[in-house]
Amino acid sequence: MELIAFAPATDLARAVAFYGSVLGLTHEETTPFAAVFRAGPVMLRVTKVESLQPQPFTVLGWSVSDIRATVADLTARGVAFTRYDGMGQDSLGIWTTPDGSQIAWFRDPDGNTLSLTQFA
Q: How many domains does the chain have?
A: 2
Please indicate, yes or no, whether residues 42 and 66 belong to a single structural domain of this protein.
no
* Same domain for 66 and 40: no
Query: Does 45 share its domain with 79?
Result: no
Contacts of 98 (CB under 8 A, 6+ apart): none
The CATH number of whichever domain residue 88 belongs to comes to 3.10.180.10
Residues 42 and 63 in one domain: no
- Are 69 and 113 in a shared domain? yes
| Domain extent for 102 | 57-120
d(CA 32, CA 37): 15
Summarize pLDDT for 34-91 with one digit per residue, the tens.
999 999 999 999 999 999 999 989 999 999 999 999 999 999 999 999 999 999 999 9
**Is the same domain home to 102 and 64?**
yes
Q: What are phi and psi of 9, to 5 degrees?
A: -150, 145
pLDDT at 56: 87
Q: Same domain, yes or no, for 72 and 110?
A: yes
Residues 111 and 76 in one domain: yes
Q: Are residues 10 and 37 in the same domain?
A: yes
Confidence (pTM): 0.94
